[in-house]
Amino acid sequence: MRLFEPCHINGKLALKNRIVMPALVTRLATEAGEITEELLERYLLYARGGTGLIITEAISVRKQKSGPLLRLSEDRFVPSLRELTDRVHEGSDARIALQIIHFMKTGYSGHRAMPPFWMPEKVDVYLAADIRKTLRHAGYQTPIVTSGRIPNAGVAESLLENREADLVAIARPTLCDPYWPRKTVEGREQEILRCVYCNKCKEADEAFQKVYCAQWKKKDGSFEIRSYRRHASRI
């Protein structure tokens, strides 16, 4: 599958595949904006599961109270962010980048940013597709990322084959089962815990609660514990 082929950005950054975990708030940081061990483990799940590029949740560069969200408004936050980067690199071959924000609203929000089950698949893909087409006509080869209710590897692959994007961002299905890329490569698709787009994760974020997938409660123990037990020999 082209989805699992490498991608090079500007000739400098090499990604092992074309799967992106986009920014998704976890509410696992401290009220002071510091990284916690629980937050570190969340990003390590994404990395160990096979995602090529991880974009962190929003990191504020403004000196203001923002609840349990990461911050980079002072140099004192740099060491913990460096530790996050180092641990991702040490524990996987994934790459990780920051999403930097200043709390100005841009683009889609609400349901269009996180389309629920009743909205069609690929609802926002046309945006990236048009941008990519415009750039290619202008002679630029910059890789373009698309997102917006892309439920599985098959749909992601079709976007790449149709040249609608170069990278595919898949947030909630990756939260639901961070190991879906690895399971797909290993021919274990039937074991993937599928996102149903109930948006309970979105509701938790909006209620300033820790963000988990509601489906993790379908079996005993957290998803993290079950994943480490089941895949210990593969990590």
> Using an 8 Å Cβ cutoff, are 19 and 181 in contact?
yes
Kindly list the distances between the CA atom of residue 15 and the CA atoms of 34, 52, 53, 95, 196, in Å, as whole numbers in the listed order: 28, 6, 7, 7, 28
Are β-strands 53-60 and 70-71 bridged in parallel, bridged antiparallel, or unpaired? parallel
| pLDDT recorded at residue 150 | 97
| pLDDT recorded at residue 131 | 97
How far apart CA 119 and CA 111 sit, in angstroms, is 9
How far apart CA 82 and CA 78 sit, in angstroms, is 6
Closest C-alpha to 113, from 73, 58, 153: 58
> Using an 8 Å Cβ cutoff, are 21 and 51 in contact?
yes
Tens digit of pLDDT per residue, the chain (235 long)?
999 999 999 888 999 999 999 999 999 999 999 999 999 999 999 999 999 999 999 898 888 777 888 999 999 999 999 999 999 999 999 999 999 887 655 566 678 889 999 999 999 999 999 999 999 999 999 999 999 999 999 999 999 999 999 999 999 999 999 999 999 999 999 999 999 999 999 999 999 899 999 988 654 444 543 444 444 333 2
DSSP 12: T
User: In a 3-state reduction of DSSP, which class is residue 169?
Assistant: strand
Sketch out the chain's domains with CATH numbers: 2-230 (3.20.20.70)
Instruction: Encode pLDDT of 93-137 as tens digits.
Output: 999 999 988 765 556 667 888 999 999 999 999 999 999 999 999
> Using an 8 Å Cβ cutoff, are 41 and 8 in contact?
no
